[in-house]
Amino acid sequence: MRKPIFITRVKIGKAERQAIERVFDSGMIAQGAVAEKFEKEFAQFCGTKYAVAVSSGTAALNCACFAAGIKSGDEVITTPFTFIATANAPLLFGAKPVFADIKEETFNLDSERVEEKITKRTKAVITVDLFGQPADYRELRRIARKHRLVLIEDAAQAHGAKLEGKKTGALGHIGCFSFYATKNMTTGEGGMVVTDNKDYAQKARLFRQHGEAKKYDYVCLGFNYHTTDIATSIGRAQLRRLPRLNQRRIKNAQFYYDDLEGIKGLILPVVKKEVRHVFHQFTIRVTPDFKLNRDQFYEYLKRKNIFCGIYYPQSLHLYPHFKKLGYKKGDFPIAERVAKEVISLPVHPYLTQSELKYIVKVIKSI
C-alpha cells in the first residue's frame, strides 16, 4: 500500500527556522519590530496603504467589524457557505448576519442575491474569496457604493490571488487574512487586516490592544489580539515563498483540469475570467450523474489512502446559533445542495507527480 496522501501538508524551511532563531536571540519574542516589518511587507504585497498584524484570521475579522463601526441592530450581509468565523464576527457586535445565497459555479456570493437583502439597517457586506478565488467585486463594489456599505473582504483562503490585476485584500474596503497552519502561507496562527483607509487601520490597531491610544489611555473597547515576533518572523519568510507555493498549487490544479475534465457527474471548479485563482482548495462537485454519491466517493478515496476534505458539510444558517435568528432549511437552496456535493482533492504544494497521477488514476477507475 502506498503512503497516505493528505489534504494538506505543512513544511517549515530553513529560512523560517533561521528567522525564528534570530528572534529568540534578540530576546524580544512578543509583538515588536519584526511584526512591524511584516506589516509593511504584507501591505506592499497587497498594494494597500496599511496592514495590522493580529493573532488569527478570526481576530482580523473581528477587528474589521469594529473598524467598520458595526454595532447592535445593524445587518451584515454575508455568505452561508464559508468557514464559520466569517459569520460570527458581526454577531460579536450584536449585528445580524444576513445570509445571501451563492453561485454554484464559484461557491462565492451571488451579487444579485446580495442586493435583494439590503435594508435600511444594512451596514456592511462580508465577502469571502472561497477556496482561493476572488468574489465578484466589480458588482459588489457597485452595490456597496450605491448603498453606502462597507465592503469587508475575507481573503483568509486567497493570499496572492487577483482580480483584474488587483490583489485580494485590496478588493474591498478592508481585507482580512489568516495565517493558520494550513493556509496558503502560515505563521502557525496569525492574521492580518489590510486597508487603504487610515481611520479603519487606526481602529483595527486600537481594537488589537484594549482600545489603548497611549499608555493606559483607553479610548474604546478592545482586546488582546496581538501577534508575536516569533510568528511574524515565520510570516516574513513565508511571504517570500508564497509566489512559488501558489505556483505549485496552480500547477497541481492544472493537472486535474487536464486529466479529470469530462468525467460524467464530476464538476471541476470554474475559474472566472480576469481572475488568478490560488487554489487553497481544489473543490469539485459530485452530482447525481456520478457512480457514487459524495460520501461514498470520499470513503472510496479514503480506502485508497487518499484523504480529501469536505469544505463545507453544512450551510451556516442551519447551525443552532444562526438558526435561532429565524433561518430554516430551504432558505439557501444552492448553498444547501452544494454542501452535499463538494469534496476537496489534495492540491497542496508538496504533492508529487506520482501522487497526482495516482489520485487521477483512482478517480478514473470509478
* Residue ranges that bind ligand PLP, judged by CB under 6 A: 56-58, 82-83, 85-86, 128, 154, 156-157, 178, 180, 191
Q: Using an 8 Å Cβ cutoff, are 347 and 89 in contact?
A: no
Nearest distance from C-beta of residue 190 to ligand PLP, angstroms: 7
Nearer to ligand PLP, 178 or 238 (CB): 178
The smaller minimum CB distance to ligand PLP, of residues 172 and 191, is found at: 191
- Count other C-beta atoms under 10 Å from residue 334's C-beta: 17
Could you tell me how many residues make up the chain?
A: 366
Pick 176 or 356: Cβ nearer ligand PLP: 176
The CA dihedral of 348, 350, 352, 355, to the nearest 10 degrees, is -50
| Residue-by-residue DSSP string for 234-258 | HHHHHHHHHHHHHHHHHHHHHHHHH
CB of 61 to ligand PLP, least distance (A): 6
Instruction: Compare residues 123 and 280 and give the one whose CB is closer to ligand PLP.
Output: 280
Does a cis peptide bond (omega within 30 degrees of 0) precede residue 312? yes
Bridge partners of 286, per DSSP, are 266
Burial label for 326, CB within 10 Å (0-12, 13-18, 19+), is exposed
> Beta 122-128 vs 266-267: how paired, if at all?
unpaired
CA distance 110 to 115: 9
Which residue lies nearest ligand PLP, judged by its C-beta?
57
Least distance in Å: CB of 25 to ligand PLP?
Answer: 28
Please say which residue, 163 or 266, places its beta carbon nearer to ligand PLP: 163
**Considering the complex, what minimum distance in angstroms separates the CB of residue 122 from ligand PLP?**
21
48 or 178, CB closer to ligand PLP? 178
* Of residues 137, 155, 153, the one with CA closest to residue 145: 137
- Shortest Cβ distance from residue 51 to ligand PLP (Å)? 15
Identify the helix (H) or strand (E) that includes residue 329.
none
3-state class (DSSP) for residue 346: coil
Nearest distance, CB of residue 189 and ligand PLP, angstroms:
6
Would you state the cell numbers that stand for residue 54, as one nine-digit string? 493580529
Closer of 63 and 345 to ligand PLP (Cβ): 63
CB of 222 to ligand PLP, least distance (A): 18
Q: Give the nearer residue to ligand PLP in terms of CB position, either 177 or 290.
A: 177
Residue type, 92: L
**Cα–Cα dist 205/63, whole Å:** 8
Whether 135 and 128 have beta carbons less than 8 Å apart is answered as yes
Min dist CB 363 to ligand PLP, Å, is 25
Helices 33-46 and 229-260, axial angle in degrees (round to 10)? 30
CA distance 85 to 97: 12
Closer to ligand PLP by Cβ: residue 42 or 290: 42
Q: Is 295 helix (H, G, I), strand (E, B) or coil?
A: helix
Q: How far is the CB of 146 from ligand PLP (least distance, A)?
A: 26
